[in-house]
Structure 1
């Protein structure tokens, strides 16, 4: 098994997930900033062209961040970062769906269409005019989430779950590229600080993140 790794918030999700589980997997790096992930031989393995990917022992490749984490959870169920029973997993996945559909996808696309346009304009279809509304939509749902997590240590309840890692890595990246954290969201601010203080948050950063001025 081998992790095909790169700079970016999504590869960081997998690295942070692995760190929380105490997993070490051999890895190879691909230069996402130079577009190596958007052409062969990488796209022969992962036609979606995104990073990271997980190459399994039989040569098959998993190319979706959450799917990779769920695969690792099934192979290494302790500690449970999705859930230890059907109800816990369902609740965690419910929050995962809400966060991805209403927050992280808006944030990432808003970046691709605005601050990251120079990097992405020749790689994916970009809609610059949509970026401002996407930023507003993401912030609106973050405001809603701030109320929903009142009294909770983590998004899905009392324990760290994959959904916390997914949102944290997104917000930590976005805050330095035109989508800062709103300090009026006091519950999210406290939650963010809680996740940011975990050793896995630092351990999962790419070695060159400071030079790039982006946390990925």
Structure 2
């Protein structure tokens, strides 16, 4: 297998997922700033033009972080990052969807509509008139998530899951583009983030 990676929170998620699994794959970096992901060579791998992409041993290519992580979980089931039982997997997927809807999507839209407009305006539809609303929705989502987290060590409870890696990837990204976590309003998430940043997988994949 081979991973096509780049800067950005989605490739970061897959690299963290592999690191937590203890799996090392060949990695080819794709320069998305210069638009290498929009060139015919890369579009032959992923017509969507997005990173990351996982090239399988048989030559097939899998894009989209959910599909990639679920495939890697099946290939390398330990440690379980999507849950070790049917109940745990259901809860993991539930929280994955919640974090995606309440944090990831509005944060990404807010970035593309403001700081990232120059990079994305000719590639995807952006909404600069409502950039502030997207960013406000992100803050509201994080405040809600902070209350749900409480004193739990991880988003889904007692065990680290892909949801923690997803949220970490986007909070790191948010801090770089003017949407950093407000520790005063989200003390539980701030405590969680401090703990996540101490993990070996996080330190070794920066």
User: After TM superposition, is the score higher than 0.5?
Assistant: yes
Q: More relative contact order in 1 or in 2 (CA 8 Å, sep 6+)?
A: 1
Q: Distance in 2 between matches of 1:18 and 1:7?
A: 16
Task: Show the counterpart of 1:157.
Answer: 157
Q: Distance in 1 between matches of 2:176 and 2:15?
A: 20
Is 1:74 the counterpart of 2:74? The answer is yes
Task: Show the counterpart of 1:204.
Answer: 205
- 2:48 alignment partner, SS class: coil
Q: Distance in 2 between matches of 1:204 and 1:38?
A: 25
Q: Which runs of 4+ in 1 moved over 3 A?
A: none
Q: Give the 5 Å matches for 1:1-216.
A: 1-183=1-183, 184-205=185-206
Displacement of 1:121 in angstroms is 1.2
* 1:157-185 alpha-carbon deviations (Å, 9 max, x no partner): 00110000001110111112111211221
How many residue pairs match? The answer is: 205
Q: Distance in 1 between matches of 2:79 and 2:127?
A: 41
Q: Distance in 1 between matches of 2:72 and 2:118?
A: 34
Displacement of 1:8 in angstroms is 1.3
* 1:102-129 alpha-carbon deviations (Å, 9 max, x no partner): 1111101111110111111111111111
Q: Distance in 1 between matches of 2:10 and 2:143?
A: 23
| TM-score where L is the length of structure 1 | 0.92
Q: Distance in 1 between matches of 2:203 and 2:117?
A: 28
Task: Show the counterpart of 1:213.
Answer: none
Q: Distance in 2 between matches of 1:188 and 1:180?
A: 12
* 1:114-160 alpha-carbon deviations (Å, 9 max, x no partner): 01111111111111112110110111011111111112000000011
Gap runs ≥5 in structure 1: 206-216
Q: Distance in 1 between matches of 2:89 and 2:74?
A: 12
